[in-house]
Structure 1
Amino acid sequence: MIERKPHGVLLITLNRPHRLNSLTMPMFEHMADIWVDVDRDPQTRVAVVTGAGRGFCTGMDVAQPDPSLDDAVALMETERRRIINLLNMDKPLISAINGPAVGWGLSMALLSDISVAAEDALLRDGHTRVGVVAGDHSSLIWPLLVGMAKTKYYQLTSASLTGAEAERIGLVSLCEPKASVLERALAIADDLAQGSQQAIRWTKRSLNTGWLTNALPQQELSAALETLGFASADYLEARRAFRENRKVQFPSAGDDGFLVPTSPAPQEAVG
């Protein structure tokens, strides 16, 4: 949902509140390309992205059919395009994280130039909990924001944190009471929209070029490994468990699930 605000501020609202704004496959495509349109739009100076209802975005909608490997490869290419489009976008993007931001949703929130989170918003990467590599954004942006120690803790465990804790460790720019998150994000956007567009956009470009673009090889590796995970027994088990409302039993966590085969010991010479 698109809404134009004064002074060239564009509000983009993910609008599936009954599913906490989780994404269908066509939505991934649309959200990859919208940033090119925003950057080209002469009426837009600053964009704000938020979610309808009580959530920001909880990633892929698990109610969809299980993706095939071809689907996963296509999604990897879509995500690559989205990230490159975001990094190349000159106009500022602000995320108003009004509620749960998980997986792709957290990626969208953190890859924005400025992020404003509700104090009690739940933030979680979540990928390892469903048996796939954290490939959306983690190797690209997390180490720069919070350092490697915090990155590894939250990425490996898929632990949740609140918006208040996220601000404390530097994962988001600001936190606000839930009722004022969007208002604060729009106020920042309005201020930027009335500032020197050349100075603001070139500052963003100078920060993205090098700091973030240098990390693209790591991001592409994580995305490729994530794609392999979509074809794994672990991922399919996680989806089944979620639908059946039970604990996940990852095949790779079984006694023989993830053992690395070893070469047989050499036999001693006889006689």
Structure 2
Amino acid sequence: MFETIRYDVKDGVAWLYLNRPDKLNAFVAQMNREIKDAVKAASADDEVRCIVMIGEGRAFCSGQDLSEVDENMDHGQVLRDHYGPMVKQIRQCEKPIVAAVNGVAAGAGFSLALACDFRLVSEKASFVNAFVHVGLIPDSGNLYFLAQLVGQAKAAELSILGEKVPAAEAVDIGLANRMIPAETFEEEVSTFAARLAVMPTKAIGLIKRSLKAASVLSFEDYLELEAQGQRTAGLTADHREGVEAFMQKRKPVFSGK
């Protein structure tokens, strides 16, 4: 089905492997399309309740494959045609998405990780906002997400200086959620994803929707959105199950519905 990625579904988790290890999983246009299509498929699949993105080999994603770049390229149109649709599909997904950053995440690979809900990093991982080193600005939503995570001043520092951020520092500044030893990385990512896959999926989607809206709505409008979201959540089977489990003093078994 795919050539530049590998897509597997197991126990409610869709694993999306960036699969160009000989190129440090650098982006080509086909990979943009295939990531978009895979996330769309996972979003529509009721069996999938969590998505994990991870790189094959020693990198997460090194950014754009520069062999596809030429001096006549309209970089803005490339974003409109390839990167923008990919990132929009990721952000539209109401299931939790984990970036399992197993190695370097540079340039648009950094942006890909930023677009996800969680960033779990191997102790060998690093982030580099490398665009400035080739005379470009961070793209694929990079600064939109980065400033929200680390603040304007730190986002400016990371983007203008373009320095490498090691895994431990990424956790310290709020760029990553947690650091994991390299030898147990995929095992611990799998455990984290499995935890998400048995949670109330509809409620998670509504939380994601509310978080996105919180930065752009007035407080009054946000409270109305919150009320609408809570009404929707209150009508789900998972809410009913949660209440019944609480009353019966047992662990809830959520269906994601």
**TM-score, normalised by the number of residues in structure 1:** 0.73
The answer to whether the 8 A contact 1:138-1:155 is kept is no
Q: Structure 1 residues 112 and 67, CA, compared in 2 at 3 Å: closer, same or farther?
A: farther
Q: How does 1:85-100 map to 2 (within 5 A)?
A: 85-100=89-104
* Equivalent position amino acid for 1:157 in 2: L
2:9 counterpart residue number? 4
1:174 aligns with 2:178: yes
- Residue 190 (structure 2) aligned to one of 186, 191, 199: 186
| Secondary structure at the counterpart of residue 63 of structure 1 | helix
Aligned to 1:149: 153
TM-score (norm 2): 0.77
Question: Per-residue deviation at 1:32?
Answer: 3.1
- Alpha-carbon distance in 1 for matches of 2:208, 2:15: 20
> Structure 2 CA distance, aligned partners of 1:157 and 1:56?
21
1:17 pairs with 21, 31, 34, which one?
A: 21
Tell me the secondary structure at the aligned position of residue 115 of structure 1.
strand
Q: Structure 2 counterpart of 1:17, which letter?
A: P
Which of 200, 208, 214 is 1:196 aligned to?
Answer: 200
Extract structure 1 runs of 4+ deviating beyond 6 A.
none
Given the superposition, is the C-alpha separation of residues 135 and 53 from structure 1 closer, same or farther in structure 2, using an over 3 Å criterion?
same
SS in 2 for 1:44: coil
Question: CA offset at residue 114 of structure 1?
Answer: 0.8
State, as a whole percentage, how many aligned pairs show the same letter.
29
Work out whether residues 95 and 116 of structure 1, in 8 Å CA contact, stay in contact via their aligned partners in 2: yes
| Equivalent residue number for residue 49 of structure 1 | 53
In the TM superposition, residue 101 of structure 1 has moved relative to its aligned partner by: 0.6
Which residue is equivalent to 2:107? 103
Q: Specify the alignment match of 1:82 in structure 2.
A: 86
Cα separation, partners in 2 of 1:24 and 1:101, compared to 1, 3 Å: same
1:34 corresponds to 2:38: yes
Q: 1:212 to 1:118 in 2, by over 3 A?
A: farther
- Other-structure match for 1:252: none
| TM-superposition CA deviations, 1:228-259 (whole Å, max 9, x none) | xxxxxxxxxxxxxxxxxxxxxxxxxxxxxxxx
C-alpha distance in 2, partners of 1:102/1:212?
28
Separation in 2 of the partners of 1:94 and 1:154?
Answer: 22
CA 1:63–1:112: 2 relative to 1, 3 Å: same
Find the aligned partners of 1:25 and 1:150 in 2 and give their Cα distance.
30
Deviations 1:157-176 (A, max 9, x none): 11111111100110011111
Structure number, greater radius of gyration: 1
Listed as ranges, the gaps of 5+ residues in structure 1 are 215-271
Map 1:104-123 to 2 at 5 A. 104-123=108-127
Deviations 1:98-156 (A, max 9, x none): 00110111111121111101123121010010111112223211111111111110100
Distance in 1, matches of 2:216 and 2:118, equals 15
* Alignment deviations for residues 162-203 of structure 1 (CA, whole Å, 9 cap, x no partner): 111100110011111122222222211111111112222211
Q: What amino acid is the match of 1:122?
A: S
CA distance in 1, matches of 2:122, 2:143: 24
SS state at 2:133 partner:
helix
